[in-house]
Amino acid sequence: MTYESLSLARSGQVATLTLTHPKGAFGPATWREVPRALSELGEARALIVRGARAFSVGLDLRATAPLIAPALGDPAKFKAVVDEMHAAIEGLAVLPIPVIAAIDGWCIGAGLELAAACDLRLCSAAARFSLPEVKLGITADLGGLQRLPGLIGRGRTAQLALTGDPIDAAIAERWGLVTEVHPDAQTMYARADALAAQLAALPPKAVEGTKRILADERPHAESLAAAVAWNARHMTAEGLTVPSNKA
């Protein structure tokens, strides 16, 4: 399924959402189309998000400026513009299925904020990550400043966000921003496909419950009780069967 700014493909129970702009730039169409694509995942049990080439250079400022400029100085109008962007990224974050960001090349600004909303992040050795909004007179407002501290810590998030300087794949792995670095894009995409298939084969309610509890920001006791309640509702007798270790 092809849209103006992205495409959605299915292979078995794995779906792949590809940002089709050559640099993965997010224009006005992207924010409208991501929620539409997510609503059409059907029976997919895992989702890969990737770029056609580079993952994403972030917001297409030239295409988006006509929307943003008239709203500057008016908090209500500005919020209405940004709410559409939030709907796309938050919609990705709350999917009940695992989402894998497969990152090659640049992952900048809004692209990094979108990647942070995914469950797992793989990259090629050529990947580069940056949150450069401060250099443009902007405060990142699409969830990166909220999610990144939980992934890489407040200090490292501050280094990214306050300097706007990029980091390479090796540093991203050392910081915990990505879980795997692969030597080239082809190897990385193949690994993303295999990992997505592995996750799609798992019991879906167990995967959904794990995602929900990982995202639960309530106090420890409340989150723990939520995990117990989820299992009480969704655990099956088949799930209690211990697999054989015999070859």
Per-residue pLDDT reduced to its tens digit, 180-203 = 999 999 999 999 999 999 999 999
Residue 101 within any structural domain of the chain: yes
Based on the fold, state whether residues 231 and 116 are members of the same structural domain: no
User: Which residue range is the domain that position 226 belongs to?
Assistant: 204-236
Q: Identify whether residues 223 and 155 lie together within a single domain.
A: no
What mean pLDDT is predicted for residues 211-229?
Answer: 95
CB–CB of 3/29 below 8 Å? yes
Q: Does one domain contain both 26 and 121?
A: yes
Residues 219 and 144 in one domain: no
> Does 220 fall in a domain?
yes
Does residue 195 form part of some domain?
A: yes
Q: Which amino acid is residue 19, in one-letter code?
A: L
Same-domain status, 220 and 174: no
User: Mean per-residue pLDDT for 103-126?
Assistant: 98
Residue 219 lies in a domain: yes
CATH code at position 86: 3.90.226.10
Number of domains in the chain: 2
Please say whether the beta carbons of 157 and 200 come within 8 A: no
pLDDT bin (cut points 50, 70, 90) of residue 245 is: low
Q: Using the predicted structure, report yes or no on whether residue 244 has a pLDDT greater than 80.
A: no
Mean pLDDT over 1-10 rounds to 95
Q: Both tokens of residue 29?
A: 């169409």
Percent pLDDT > 90 in the chain is 93
Pair of tokens at residue 67:
């929307």
Cα–Cα distance, 145 to 128 (Å, whole number): 18
Q: How much is the pLDDT for 237?
A: 73
> 153 with 47, same domain?
yes
Band of residue 246 on the pLDDT scale cut at 50, 70, 90 = low
- pLDDT score of 31 more than 90: yes
Residue 242 resides in a domain: no
Q: Express each pLDDT in 142-185 by its tens digit.
A: 999 999 999 999 999 999 999 999 999 999 999 999 999 999 99
180 located within any domain: yes
Among residues 161, 238, 197, the alpha carbon closest in space to that of 16 is found at 197
Please check whether residues 89 and 141 belong to one and the same domain: yes
Mean local confidence (pLDDT), 132-138: 95
Percent of the chain with pLDDT over 70: 96
Residue 1 belongs to a domain: no
Q: Are the C-beta atoms of 97 and 41 separated by less than 8 Å? A: yes
Q: What is the mean pLDDT of residues 89-113?
A: 98
More confident residue, 242 or 30: 30
Q: In this predicted structure, what is the pLDDT of residue 247? A: 46
Same domain, 171 and 215: no
Pair 148, 37 in one domain: yes
For the chain, give the mean pLDDT. 95
pLDDT tens for 52-98 read 999 999 999 899 999 999 999 999 999 999 999 999 999 999 999 99
Co-location of 24 and 141 in the same domain: yes
Q: To 5 degrees, how large is the angle CA 33–CA 114–CA 193? A: 85
Is there a single domain that holds both residue 82 and residue 138?
yes
What is the pLDDT at residue 240? 66
In a domain, 11, yes or no: yes
pLDDT surpasses 60 at 216: yes
Residue 137 confidence (pLDDT) above 90: yes
Same domain, 117 and 224: no
Output the pTM of the full model: 0.93
